[in-house]
Amino acid sequence: MSIDGAPAAPREGAIDDVAYLVRSEHRVPALAAMAARPRTRGELRELTGASPSTIRRTLRAFEDCSWVRRDGHRYGATALGTAVANGVETLLDLVQTERTLRDVWTELPDAILEVALEQPGRTTVTVAEHDAPYGPVNRFRSLLRETDRFRFVGFDVGLYDPCTDEFGRRVLEGMDAELIDSPDVAAYMLSTYPERCDRLLESGNLTALVHDELPSYGISRLDDRVAVSGYDPDSGGVTVLVDTDAPEACEWADAVYATYRNEARPLETERVEDVEIEA
C-alpha cells in the first residue's frame, strides 16, 4: 500500500525494494529499530512519528518480504531484515558523507577521503558552512582538549591561529606536542606570539621542527585519532576537518608523519629573522 492507502506498485527487483525503504522517512528507522531489538507497534509509532495505520501497513510489507517476524505483540527483524537494515543505513551514511564532502573533497588526500567514504560510521566530517564558518576549528579544539599526545605536520595557520589559547594551555598542562611547520609559518608564530612561544618551548612539552616542503593539508595525530584539515587555496581558511579512529587512517598518518619527521630539522637551527613572513 502507498502512504495514502492506494495499492502500491509491485516491487520486482532490488532497486524497487531500496526505493520502497527510502521513499518514506519512517521505514529505515523502523527496520533498524527492530534489528536492534523486538518492538511493539506503539514503540515504533513513538520512535518514528508515523501514524498507527502507516505502521500497520509497513509491518505487513516487511512481513511479506520476510524482513520481520511477529512474536506476540512485538516485531523483530529476521536475519534478512537485519542485513537489509544495516546495508541501507550504511548506504545512507555514505551518501550523506559524500554530500557533505562534495564541495571540498579536492582539498583532502586520497587516503583520508577513502576512509571517510568507506567507513562513514567511524568518521566525523566537519565542513565550514555559511552560518558556521568555524565548525572545523571548533571540532579540532574539542579534540585537542582531550588529547595527551599530539603530532602535527602540514599547513596550519588557519587551524592553529584561532586555537593558540587552547593549544598553549594543553601544552603547559603536560600534553606532549610536536609540530612540523614551514620556516615562514614558524616565523609568523614566533613574531606574532613571542612570549607565548617562549613559554611553550621552555616547558619541555613542545618540540618544534621545520621542513621546507610540506603538504597543502594538515595531519594531526591525537592519541588514537587522526584529523586531516583542508584549506581554501585562496584564503587559507579551514574548509573541512575529517577525523577518524580507523586503523588504516592512523597507520597512513603515522607513515606520512615519520617521513617528514626524518627530513625535518629543529627550529633552533633556523634564523627566523631572515625568513620572509608571508602576508
pLDDT in tens, the chain (279 residues): 344 343 444 456 889 999 999 999 999 999 999 999 999 999 999 999 999 999 999 999 999 999 999 999 999 999 999 999 999 999 999 999 999 999 999 999 999 999 999 998 899 999 999 889 999 999 999 999 999 999 999 977 777 778 888 999 999 999 999 999 999 888 888 888 889 889 999 999 999 999 999 999 999 999 999 999 999 888 888 999 999 999 999 999 999 999 999 999 998 744 444 444 444
Rounded CA-CA distance 217/78 in Å is 45
* Judgement on whether residues 153 and 222 belong to the same structural domain of the protein: yes
Residue with cell 518514506: 24
Last residue of a domain, which of 24, 58, 87?
87
Provide the CATH number for the domain around residue 171. 3.30.870.10
Q: Quick check: pTM over 0.85?
A: no
In a domain, 2, yes or no: no
* Judgement on whether residues 250 and 207 belong to the same structural domain of the protein: yes
What is the residue range of 18's domain?
14-87
* Judgement on whether residues 60 and 144 belong to the same structural domain of the protein: no
**HEC sequence for 5-64:** CCCCCCCCCHHHHHHHHHHCCCHHHHHHHHHHCCEEHHHHHHHHCCCHHHHHHHHHHHHH
| Size of the chain in residues | 279
* Judgement on whether residues 72 and 112 belong to the same structural domain of the protein: no
* Judgement on whether residues 78 and 169 belong to the same structural domain of the protein: no
Last residue of a domain, which of 59, 87, 115?
87
Rounded CA-CA distance 153/23 in Å is 45
Provide the CATH number for the domain around residue 25. 1.10.10.10
In a domain, 41, yes or no: yes
In a domain, 255, yes or no: yes
In a domain, 180, yes or no: yes
Number of domains in the chain: 2
* Judgement on whether residues 37 and 77 belong to the same structural domain of the protein: yes
* Judgement on whether residues 73 and 124 belong to the same structural domain of the protein: no
Q: From residue 161, how far is each of 134, 157, 189, 249 by CA, in Å?
A: 12, 5, 8, 25
Provide the grid cell at 16: 524497487
* Judgement on whether residues 176 and 228 belong to the same structural domain of the protein: yes
In a domain, 3, yes or no: no
Rounded CA-CA distance 182/218 in Å is 12
